[in-house]
Amino acid sequence: MVRYAVGYRSRAFVTFGAPISAGDRDVHSRSDVLELARLVRARTGALYKVLPTALFAAAMRPSITRPDLEARIDRLIEELAARHANLGVTSGRQTVEEAVEPLETRGIVVAEAGRFRVRERTVLRYYARTIEHLLVTTGRTH
């Protein structure tokens, strides 16, 4: 309904994971509740669908050629596949083919003289951060 009101064409991805039991935890124990919260967050993050726009954004530099971008994306895909991420694409080439049109249409990137250039760095960073939790292994909690 929203897409008709504002003109968006979009899709939703729904993924269901294995059930998480909460019955064996003490609801009055702060450590049990925090452990459950971390488990839910980790499982939800692992199920997140990695979309072409996110990969494109994560691999993008201020100015980059298509072959270099595809190679960077291929390396990201290898890393994410090793972590059993829920990938929506299988190659750098496929990623660029699927991501460039929506990103150009929205004015986020521009293709010129055989290179991709960033026009909206903040928006591109937003897309890239949607998969950051799958790439970073620090102890950061938020």
Query: What total of structural domains would you count in the chain?
Result: 2
Pair 53, 37 in one domain: no
CA 95 to chain centre: 12
- Tens of pLDDT, residue by residue over 88-142, are 999 999 999 999 999 999 999 999 998 999 999 999 999 999 999 898 765 544 4
Pair 67, 109 in one domain: yes
Pair 43, 92 in one domain: no
Name the pTM for this structure. Answer: 0.77
Pair 89, 56 in one domain: yes
Return the exposure string of 41-77: e unless at least 16 CB atoms fall within 10 Å of the residue's CB, then b.
eeeeeeebbbbbbbbbbbbbeeebeeeebbebbbebb
Res 1 pLDDT > 60: no
Non-local CB neighbours of 29 within 8 Å, separated by 6+ positions: none
Pair 119, 70 in one domain: yes
Pair 62, 126 in one domain: yes
For tokens 């993050």, the residue is: 45
- Tens of pLDDT, residue by residue over 18-60, are 888 888 888 899 999 999 999 988 888 888 899 999 999 999 9
Pair 140, 114 in one domain: yes
Pair 26, 71 in one domain: no
Q: Which domain, by its residues, includes 94?
A: 49-142
Pair 125, 57 in one domain: yes
Pair 130, 89 in one domain: yes
| Amino acid at site 81 | A
Pair 53, 100 in one domain: yes
Pair 121, 85 in one domain: yes
CATH number at residue 74: 1.10.10
